[in-house]
Amino acid sequence: MLLLLRRGLPGFPEEERLAYIAANRAAWMFGWFLWQVAAVSLIAFYATLALHVARTSAREDGGLKPAPHVLSITAMAVAAAGVSLDIACESRYMAVLPELHGDAFAQLDRELEVLIGYGANGLYTLALVLLVLAGWRVLPKTALALAGPVAAAGVALALASLRGDPRLETITSAILFPLFTLWLMVIALWMRKNEESS
């Protein structure tokens, strides 16, 4: 985002943004494509985590208690809605927004900012919370401790996007992404350790 997209996003004057996008169209398209790959990768990770939580819960319960399938399935449905919204909006950022100017540009830009930042990001955050609740008994304590700040940063980013405050969106993104990356690493290490011990 910093290298390929930042100069074309809200926070800069419209003319500067349009000039950047026009001069760097391939980078602009590739940057959004990378975000689409990231969105699909996130859903794949969530699905892997949901399956892992279900298996670990069943193993620890000795198969006597039902695994937290309802929360996991709900989380995946929420995340799927998020990725659908995300990819649709990012496609419009790639192909439609660069062709617009003036009021049409401003209106679509604001719409996409809200749909991605508030809608898709809010759904991803809700899915994460549901997955953490589904795995509450089996996830490592570090992951549980990090989940609160990650979710809070996700909600803060969603609200900043809804408000239309580029500065606050940048700040909350700068908090969210490192925390979320750390959470992912903790979860990935836990899953690997569990796979090796089973």
pLDDT in tens, 102-141: 999 999 999 999 999 999 999 999 999 999 999 999 999 9
Residue 182's pLDDT band, with cuts at 50, 70 and 90, is very high
Q: Give the percent of the chain with pLDDT over 70.
A: 93
Q: Is residue 188 part of a domain?
A: yes
Q: Is residue 29 part of a domain?
A: no
Q: Is residue 100 part of a domain?
A: yes
Tell me, what's the pLDDT at 59? 75
Q: Is residue 27 part of a domain?
A: no
Q: Is residue 182 part of a domain?
A: yes
Tell me, what's the pLDDT at 13? 86
Whole-number average pLDDT of the chain = 91
| Average of per-residue pLDDT across 141-151 | 97
Which residue type does 101 have? H
Tell me, what's the pLDDT at 198? 62
Q: Is residue 24 part of a domain?
A: no
| Average of per-residue pLDDT across 162-181 | 94
Q: How far is CA 32 from the centre of its chain?
A: 14
* 46 Cβ contact list (under 8 Å, min separation 6): 75, 76, 79, 127, 128, 131
Tell me, what's the pLDDT at 62? 58
- What is the C-alpha to C-alpha distance for residues 73 and 177, in angstroms, rounded to an integer? 25
- What is the C-alpha to C-alpha distance for residues 193 and 198, in angstroms, rounded to an integer? 9
The three-class DSSP label of residue 39 is: helix
Q: Is residue 25 part of a domain?
A: no
Tell me, what's the pLDDT at 63? 53
Task: List the structure tokens of 121.
Answer: 């990001």
Count: domains in the chain: 1
* 42 Cβ contact list (under 8 Å, min separation 6): 79, 83, 124
Integer angstrom CA distances of residue 114 from 131, 153, 155, 161, 164: 24, 16, 13, 6, 8
Tell me, what's the pLDDT at 75? 95
Tell me, what's the pLDDT at 2? 64
- Domain range holding 100? 41-197
Q: 85, 118 in Cβ contact below 8 A? A: no
Summarize pLDDT for 37-91 with one digit per residue, the tens: 999 999 999 999 999 998 887 777 655 455 567 889 999 999 999 999 999 999 9
Can you state the angle between helices 121-134 and 25-60, rounded to 10 degrees? Answer: 20
Q: Is residue 108 part of a domain?
A: yes
Q: 18, 101 in Cβ contact below 8 A? A: yes
Residues in the chain: 198
Phi, psi of 12 (to 5 degrees): -115, 155
The three-class DSSP label of residue 138 is: coil
Rounded to two decimals, the pTM is 0.90
Tell me, what's the pLDDT at 67? 52
Lowest-confidence range among 20-34, 39-53, 184-198?
A: 184-198
Angle at 147 between CA 64 and CA 121, to 5 degrees: 110
